Structure 1
């Protein structure tokens, strides 16, 4: 109804980055009534790795394929089609909907991975070392410049579709398994799970104050890939009592495991990270079937993974890609180590980004120009 007389009405237009973006109509099978040329997306103004690799010929060969769970080529590329990117910022432009995505659509994804991860070849094998004793340095970062340190990784539970493609039932089962597994942690890792939909205002405000809380995605990159469907159903945050070790459930990946603390002792942060992730659950060198090939299991494997394995589940992994995650940029270790730094002068320098690139680092997140978050770039 119209407002009462003499009422001042204000109209607000949401900025582009917060406007809801509908999930792509990628499952419309009528598209197969049209030629590949008629269905090929317009990528003429795009700057992402997917657009750099995809050609009409590749699209023609792959467009009729789908993974066993029904993830299609158009599902893979839709986020990159809807988000052309920035002229100076190369985004990935594609996602995986399940573990098989990287095999079924490898003609597209292998070159994307090679381009994004600095020449990582389809024949390369990934190595992960989670022995904190092998870390050199990291305990003496200057506290005058380093405000906080953190290490994070992602993990995907084998047998479930990834967040862009999972059903409500799958997502809820991932939450249930995660809650049960994390509830088994003891000692310094003992903690509590908070479901987003059940949080009290006080709990939510406390998590915001602690910089723990992830909110409903507003990034078009995530919205276009379908990761915000049914929000906040089956999403949540777990953290230990000391608030230095936390796990996000069903955000961009099934699990995001994070170790963080104030100051510049990255070695201590990494040690806690490895403590939460590492525990011997297979004898060193014992063979285990891992999808397409036999892999030799390292002596230190995930403590959290062992809890899932006790319940009949393991994490997605293969010897080429390492740990399999939603975004190709996070493959391999899935590990991203970073510091929140105070660089009031250098961050303004015209060649700041160039310096970071030479060091294989990148600036991420927020905190203002003078307080950038600096982290590693390539994970494979």
Structure 2
């Protein structure tokens, strides 16, 4: 239905584009050999072509789900307008044929009201079958015209091959720099966790053991040894926590689903996990997805005071979608160190990360990752 409406709008646009192309040709023909006059006339013509091309981009995006980048010159917009009207007429012909086929196909519903409906039931049935067959053919034609619309738009309005290569090189350079920064940030975080947590525990443990070793009182020595034992357990727990945040072994041993369930079990608030992947994703994708969930859950518990967190993982058309929603107080800063580091991790895999966290909540952290 949407494609059909898009083609009908494309037919209306084709009429405007044909008229524009004729008027532009009439205006340019007298000044074709006069450079200054040609430039003067070409300026408003190109501006008009740009407007029509932008309207076409909106139609393609809204009705045909075709997205074309706006990085094109006005001359290419004029060429697109000059060529597209023919395709718009073709779309109109296809939709008119579909209407005729639908009229013949449904003739059996109202044909009995006509004079020949009762006397020639065989003709009525054959006409309806032929109409439905025509509708079937035109449906295929609709998808074909939509495909041609996308090819024409990408050819004239999309980036050239050289521009696409330059854009891709820039993206790869930026993602490589982001990976280096993310690794450095992760090293600093690990160093900070070890220095502020485990190292302090070990220092306290050493002091307790030293005091117990120097003590002459047996009862005091036993108390100090008990404190040292408790401190060693706390240091071991913190060391395990640091190791878990660096990389969970569950991810390698049992897969992404088990790792996410472990995150849910370790959280201090209820966390629901909805896992809808038919097969295990690639290791790099699974690792980034895990850290997105882990960081988002940790931030929510630490800063948003939620009562429940929902995690959803699904795949669609070679893309994996990961979302973490909480009912906390909101106000998460997407530019903060944790979420910003996640965005760089996701971008390194040609993915995208979005954070929607209005004051008062709820907060939604969503990542889109490539998934073969």
Note whether the superposition's TM-score is higher than 0.5.
Answer: no
TM-score band, normalised by shorter chain: under 0.3
Q: TM-score w.r.t. structure 1 length? A: 0.22
Higher relative contact order (CA 8 A, sep 6+): 1
| TM-score under structure 2 length normalisation | 0.22
Structure of greater Rg: 2
More helix by percentage:
2
